[in-house]
Amino acid sequence: MLSVENLSVSVEGRQILHDLNLHVMTGETVALFGPNGSGKTSLLKAIIGVPSYSIESGKIIFKGNDLTRLSMHERAVLGIGMSFQRPPAIRGVKLRDLLVTCVKKRGGVDPGDINDMIMRLGLSDLAERDINKGFSGGEIKRSELIQLQAQGPDLLLLDEPDSGVDLISIELVGSVINELLQKDRKKDRREKAGLIISHAGHILDYVNADRAYVMLNGTLQCSGNPRELLDDIIEKGYEGCTVCKG
């Protein structure tokens, strides 16, 4: 589904990602770990096409389409969706109105489903407010997730969906992510794939990841089983991962 090939990305004239390669197959869930400032969010923003993240060299291929020159909007229409680590508040746009617009665009989805989605994620009051304006950290994560539910993308880019989420809500967030990734189907029957950034891996207690990568200084240094990698990081630190070069 996704092929990132020799990707180098700059922001504000500074190169942040260096010659990065990553492949995600349909049906897979891939986790991304790495220290603060290593470039994890920048990778996801480069994939979804946030304008200030300019591709210096390399390619991003999604379902056979070269995304390199496509706008963020065109990438979203092709089926890429992102839940942002720190999304902006959007004054004057109510969360419910955005959800209705997204669901209508998709067609064939009953707008009544929106109410069920809102109730399930405990967003009844928030749905009538401007998107993310004054939302708490955990509320922002649920707001981002419900927007993905309304969009129904094929590739889900989830930037720290677990940070700031309380112990009870994280189970709910996990079950919604599992549904979005069609985890109830066998891997070869799924049409979705996910890339999840997590620091402590809490979300991986609820969402099974097939493999994980460690990003250091703007490139992927190491890959392996998510749980084993997390244990290694706790034991040896991030730099310890460079030794294995898996």
* Residues lying near ligand ATP in the complex (CB under 6 A): 11-12, 16, 34, 36-42, 52, 85
User: Binds 37, which of ligand ATP, Mg ion, none (CB < 5 to 8 A, cut-off by type)?
Assistant: ligand ATP
Query: Left (φ > 0), alpha (ψ -120 to 50) or beta: where does 172 sit?
Result: alpha
CB of 12 or CB of 110, closer to ligand ATP: 12
Encoded one letter per residue, x for contact with Mg ion by CB under 5 A and - for no contact, window 65-104 reads: --------------------x-------------------
Beta strands in the chain (DSSP E): 2-11, 14-24, 29-33, 53-62, 65-66, 80-83, 90-94, 130-131, 155-159, 193-197, 211-216, 219-224
The structure tokens 């020799």 sit at: 6
Cβ at position 172, least distance to ligand ATP in Å: 23
Encoded one letter per residue, x for contact with Mg ion by CB under 5 A and - for no contact, window 15-54 reads: -------------------------xx-------------
> In the 8-state DSSP scheme, what is residue 87?
P
Return the SS3 of 22: strand
CB of 54 or CB of 178, closer to ligand ATP: 54
Cβ at position 197, least distance to ligand ATP in Å: 7
CA geometry: angle 55, 239, 194, nearest 5 deg: 50
Rounded to an integer, what distance in angstroms lies between the CA atom of residue 246 and that of residue 227?
15
CB of 12 or CB of 188, closer to ligand ATP: 12
Q: Are 136 and 18 in contact (CB under 8 A)?
A: no
CB of 40 or CB of 96, closer to Mg ion: 40
User: Binds 34, which of Mg ion, ligand ATP, none (CB < 5 to 8 A, cut-off by type)?
Assistant: ligand ATP
Q: Which residues bind Mg ion (CB under 5 A)?
A: 40-41, 85
